[in-house]
Amino acid sequence: MRLSRYFLPVLRDTPKEAEIVSHQLMLRSGMVKQSAAGIYSWLPLGLRVLTKIAEIVRQEQNRAGAIEILMPTMQSADLWRESGRYEAYGKEMLRIVDRQERDLLFGPTAEEVVTAIFRDSVRSYRDLPKNLYNIQWKFRDEIRPRFGVMRGREFLMKDAYSFDLTADGARKAYQRMFVAYLRTFARMGLKSIPMKADTGPIGGDLSHEFIILAETGESQVFCHKDLIEGAIPAADTDFDGDLSPIIEAWTSKYAATEDMHDAATFEANVPADSRVSARGIEVGHIFYFGTKYSEPMGARVQGPDGQMITVQMGSYGVGVSRLAGAIIEASHDAGGIIWPVPVAPFEVGLINLKAGDADTDRAATDLYVKLQAAGIDVLYDDTDERAGGKFATMDLIGLPYQLIVGPKGVKSGEAEVKARRTGARASMPMDAALAHVIDSVVSQRVLV
Ligand code: 5CA
């Protein structure tokens, strides 16, 4: 993409309304624009990040055996009356009346919709287990939407729902999502820690939140420090095999959110120098709630002996749009964002220091087409802005590698490579610079 033809409305000044760095940087780099309180438009740069995050989530859900569907944003209130949650959900639910005077709502989550799909189409235990997920916009009329996309009113969520014949089957489904989540967040360059959590309005008795440590996090969390560097299950993990050892390794050390924290247990089980008490961002939340929805909504299958069995369920959420902010909280410096390669809006920023100069244009265009031919996502700054402005913008938007071409370098046949994360710069012959950038990007596309 040529910057001269792109839509990248960067802001030079930090918007006053943004309290935390990710919100400031998302606005400044032209990723999102607020449309109403807690409601955002995703501009081209932001949409590229959101799409890459969603794709990683999708790949890991598929790997774990979940099946993608797409449910509506608008839901019928009658379904929620069946589960008994319509009144209970309170003011966070956006309620809407259609022209026939029927009650609708903008879905804050989809347990009811998916339970109805299951109930109406699955008849036999032979069809189990099943896990259906979708990546869809949700609406929660939060009292205090804040921190940009971190606590929005409209936000993109991946929500998966598992159906099993037995509680033991449901526990295995929970374990598959647990492992999928460890991989999902690690692939985005994040260190997530599963922590025992409260179940809130979703309900149930087993639940983990996946937390990223960050000073600006909304939750207070407590854990053993070893969990920060815990081992991430490999891509060839057998999801049909026994995942208990992985779960055991991650849950045998203390980790709890504020609601579940027990200071006495923490102090008794974790040596003083290993105790972490910190702020965290919840990027995922998984629940096992048995028959909480399947019982009142009549989601039953015929068992092996002909008897009808109410299915065991769990639900598994990932904050897809929140992750864009969370990744920035975890990866930035004074100059701006530092995108990990797998979620970077473009992998390389190519800077032409003297657009309009025939030799420099020719050299830069040559690199541009070669990067594209190699399958690299490249943003080519071919504008006539001054060099200082170009460098500041590239640092701000955080592309992992910069390839800089100027008239002096062109004369000696060299280009400069800058790694955004380390700030290291090196001049190299054009071909070597191209190869270096391509190799660096390709080697970091898959982190685990
Ligand atoms: N039905 C369950 C799991 S599918 C559920 O709704 N879980 S949840 O309430 O915990 O939400 C799942 C994830 O969505 C959270 O972990 C969080 O990352 C994200 N999320 C929740 N509320 C918001 C919000 N207001 N803004 C942005 N992301 C949010």
On the question of pLDDT at 201 being above 90, the answer is no
pLDDT band of 445, cuts 50, 70, 90: very high
Task: Report the alpha-carbon angle 317-322-328, nearest 5.
Answer: 135
- Residue-level pLDDT at 199: 81
Centre of ligand 1 to C-alpha 318, Å, is: 6
Residue from 157, 198, 288, 316 to probe ligand 1 pocket by mutation (most atoms less than 8 Å from CB): 157
- 173, 178, 182, 183 alpha-carbon torsion, rounded to 10°: 0
- For residue 447, count other CB atoms closer than 10 A to its CB: 16
List the one residue out of 67, 61, 63, 68 whose CA is nearest residue 238.
63
Tell me what the mean pLDDT of segment 218-233 comes to.
Answer: 96
Strand arrangement of the beta sheet that strand 378-381 belongs to: 378-381, 348-352, 401-405, 414-419, 425-429
What is the pLDDT averaged over residues 40-63? Answer: 98
Cα(259)–Cα(199) distance, integer angstroms = 10
Does pLDDT of 202 surpass 80? Answer: no
Instruction: Evaluate if residue 136 carries a pLDDT over 80.
Output: yes
Residue 375 has a pLDDT of 98
Longest dimension (CA), the chain: 82
Mean pLDDT score across all residues of the chain = 97
Average pLDDT rounded to a whole number, residues 96-123? 98
User: Atom 23 in ligand 1: which residue has the minimum CA distance?
Assistant: 151
Overall average pLDDT of the 435-443 stretch: 98
Q: What are phi and psi of 268, to 5 degrees?
A: -70, -30
Task: State yes or no: pLDDT of 233 exceeds 90.
Answer: yes
Say how far apart CA 215 and CA 281 lie, in whole Å.
Answer: 9
| Reported confidence tier of residue 306, pLDDT bands at 50, 70, 90 | very high
pLDDT of residue 275: 98
Q: Does ligand 1 come within 6 angstroms of the Cβ of 152?
A: yes
pLDDT at 383: 98
In this predicted structure, the answer to whether residue 134 has a pLDDT above a threshold of 90 is yes
Ligand 1 atom nearest to CA at 318: 13
- At 290 the pLDDT is 96
Positive or negative, the Cα torsion across 409, 410, 412, 418?
positive
Residue 32 Cα to ligand 1 midpoint, Å, equals 20
Average pLDDT over residues 140-169: 97
**Which pLDDT score, from 0 to 100, does residue 205 have?**
75
Asked if the model's pLDDT at residue 200 lies above 90, the reply is no
Query: Of the residues 68, 162, 285, 286, which should be mutated to test ligand 1's pocket, given the most ligand atoms within 8 Å of the CB?
Result: 285
Mean pLDDT computed over 79-87:
97
Q: Is 276 helix (H, G, I), strand (E, B) or coil?
A: strand
Global pTM reads 0.97
CB 292 near ligand 1, within 6 Å: no
CA-based nearest residue to 179, from 98, 114, 262, 235: 235
The Cα–Cα gap between 21 and 334 comes to 10
Q: Is 285 in the pocket of ligand 1 (CB under 6 A)?
A: yes
Q: Is 315 in the pocket of ligand 1 (CB under 6 A)?
A: yes
Rounded to whole angstroms, the Cα distance separating 404 from 352 reads 6
Residue 282 C-alpha to ligand 1 middle, in angstroms?
8
Quick one: average pLDDT of 272-278? 97
pLDDT given for residue 73 in this prediction: 98
Count of CB atoms within 10 A of residue 270's CB?
19
Q: Which of 315, 310, 294 is nearest to 109 (CA)?
A: 315
pLDDT, one tens digit per residue, over 25-41 is 999 999 999 999 999 99
Question: What is the spatial distance between Cα 403 and Cα 367, in angstroms, rounded to a whole number?
Answer: 9
pLDDT bucket at 10, cuts 50 / 70 / 90: very high
Sorted by sequence, the CB contacts under 8 Å of residue 51 that are 6+ apart come out as none
What pLDDT sits at residue 203? 73
Region 327-344: what's the mean pLDDT?
98
The answer on pLDDT for 54 being more than 90 is yes
198: confidence class by pLDDT, cuts 50, 70, 90: confident
- Residue 56: pLDDT over 80: yes
What percent of the chain is predicted at pLDDT more than 90?
A: 97
